[in-house]
Amino acid sequence: MLRSIQDFPLLQKIYSDYATVSGLHINLCKSNVLCVNTPDYLLNALHETGVNTPTTIKYLGIQLSTTLKDTINNTIHAVQSKSVRRRILATSTPTDMLHRSILLNKTLIPLYTHIFMSLPAFPDHIQQICTDIANFMWQKLNDGVFRNKSKLVAKK
């Protein structure tokens, strides 16, 4: 953990020692540093030394951010855009309910399972996901607009 920019050469020495022992090298020019709860003066000092400090980094499908709330929101947003693309692909050709359920189990459910195993779930996100899944099953794409495929007889 860096407390001041004067600690940065020590961190570089630790990376150098790691490279010597392991044979793996870390290129700081190509590396990104995610600064969580870091004061602005330290972020500015890191920028001056040439270190890239983005606010979000994608790691194993999770959009890590500087706060937990931003991490959850960015990850859910990224998955929702993937689910919309997959829903368009699934509804653009005539598919029956069986094929939609197979697509749901093979494409969307693993995405959401990975997120909920990695991050805490909030009720508003769960409600949005349930709505997305219901829309995936009961809507079709006509002229670029999603329309109800059939009447939903029973609802929760």
- Going by C-beta distance under 8 Å and a sequence separation of 6 or more, which residues neighbour residue 108? 83, 86, 132, 133, 136
41 and 78, same domain (yes or no): no
Question: Rounded to whole angstroms, how far apart are CA atoms 62 and 43?
Answer: 23
pLDDT on residue 148: 62
- Regarding predicted confidence, which is higher, 19 or 99? 19
Q: pTM for the full model?
A: 0.64
pLDDT reading at 92 higher than 60 = no
Would you place residue 21 in the very low, low, confident or very high pLDDT band (cuts 50, 70, 90)? very high
Domain boundaries, position 22:
5-54
pLDDT on residue 142: 62
pLDDT in tens, 37-61: 888 888 888 888 888 888 899 988 8
Q: Which two tokens stand for residue 22?
A: 């392991």
Number of domains the chain contains: 2
pLDDT on residue 22: 92
Structural contact between residues 62 and 115, judged by C-beta atoms closer than 8 angstroms: yes
Structural contact between residues 37 and 48, judged by C-beta atoms closer than 8 angstroms: no
138 and 87, same domain (yes or no): yes
pLDDT reading at 150 higher than 70 = no
Average pLDDT along the chain: 78
47 and 106, same domain (yes or no): no
